[in-house]
């Protein structure tokens, strides 16, 4: 084997998939918000929610700042900061004031002509949540260039471990059929399928014990 061949076989360093909680005032929150924005750029649910005109990019950025910094959820990330998840513990969903601000901001995020219909549809989804206390996984995003490397699984397993220790389920929604398969392989089952305006389909999933 020539030296040139040896040089070409450099083994990349292992990916650090340890998961940690990101504190409220951590500097990396800005980059993680941008990571989530990029991860969800083509997501059907997100694009159904935000306006699709020349102000789309601004609305998209504003949406993720609002979700991550103002709604009260817990932000977790992999140590390499290439994936992040936002979730609420049992009984720790957005308080009334945060929800009110969200629906007021929806006028700008969705556009005034779509905001009312979107707000009604979002309230319909509340009925899909389990009746018992549960964890709510609201967002899980992986940098597009890092998908398929185990980041999503690491975040899901961390949350599943917390839920099992508390003997409570995890609830989530997705608008991608391939995500249904991903979560099904990790202990989730479809609890409801909801058809929203403009034909958007959302699957609600709950973790099995």
Identify the pLDDT of residue 161. 96
Phi, psi (degrees; rounded to nearest 5) at 99:
-65, -40
CATH assignment of the domain containing 151: 3.40.630.30
For the cut 60, the answer to whether the pLDDT of residue 1 exceeds it is no
113: in domain: yes
pLDDT per position as a tens digit, 168-185: 999 999 999 999 999 999
Alpha-carbon gap, residue 144 to 201, rounded angstroms = 23
Enclosing domain of residue 104:
18-207
**Burial, 167: exposed, middle or buried (Cβ in 10 Å; 0-12, 13-18, 19+)?**
exposed
Residue 113: band (very low, low, confident or very high) from pLDDT cuts 50, 70, 90: confident
Joined together, the tokens standing for residue 206 give 């709950």
Helix (H) or strand (E) holding 121: helix 112-125
pLDDT per position as a tens digit, 154-163: 999 999 999 9
pLDDT per position as a tens digit, 4-48: 444 444 444 457 799 999 999 999 999 999 999 999 999 999 999
103: in domain: yes
The mean pLDDT of 62-73, rounded to a whole number, is 94
Calculate the CA 148 to chain-centre distance.
16
Query: How many domains are contained in the chain?
Result: 1
Identify the pLDDT of residue 110. 95
What pTM was computed for the model? 0.89
8: in domain: no
5: in domain: no
Identify the pLDDT of residue 14. 58
95: in domain: yes
79: in domain: yes
6: in domain: no
Mean pLDDT of the chain: 91
Say which residue, 12 or 140, is predicted with more confidence: 140
Identify the pLDDT of residue 42. 96
> What's 150's DSSP letter?
S
142: in domain: yes
């Amino acid at each position: 084997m020539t030296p040139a061949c040896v040089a070409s076989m450099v083994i990349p360093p292992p990916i650090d998939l340890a998961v940690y909680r990101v504190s409220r005032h951590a500097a990396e929150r800005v980059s993680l918000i941008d990571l989530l924005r990029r991860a969800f750029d083509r997501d059907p649910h997100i694009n159904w929610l935000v306006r699709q005109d020349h102000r789309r990019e601004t609305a998209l950025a504003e949406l993720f700042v609002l979700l991550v910094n103002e709604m009260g959820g817990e932000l977790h990330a992999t140590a390499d900061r290439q994936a992040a998840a936002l979730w609420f513990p049992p009984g720790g969903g957005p308080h009334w004031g945060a929800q009110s601000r969200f629906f007021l901001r929806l006028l700008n995020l969705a556009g005034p002509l779509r905001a009312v219909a979107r707000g009604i549809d979002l309230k319909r989804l509340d009925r899909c949540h389990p009746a018992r206390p549960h964890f709510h996984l609201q967002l899980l995003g992986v940098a597009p260039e890092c998908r398929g490397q185990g980041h999503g699984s690491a975040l899901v397993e961390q949350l599943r471990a917390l839920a099992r220790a508390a003997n409570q389920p995890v609830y989530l929604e997705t608008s991608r059929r391939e995500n249904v398969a991903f979560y099904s392989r990790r202990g989730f089952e479809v609890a409801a399928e909801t058809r929203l305006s403009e034909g958007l389909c959302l699957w609600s999933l709950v973790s099995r014990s």
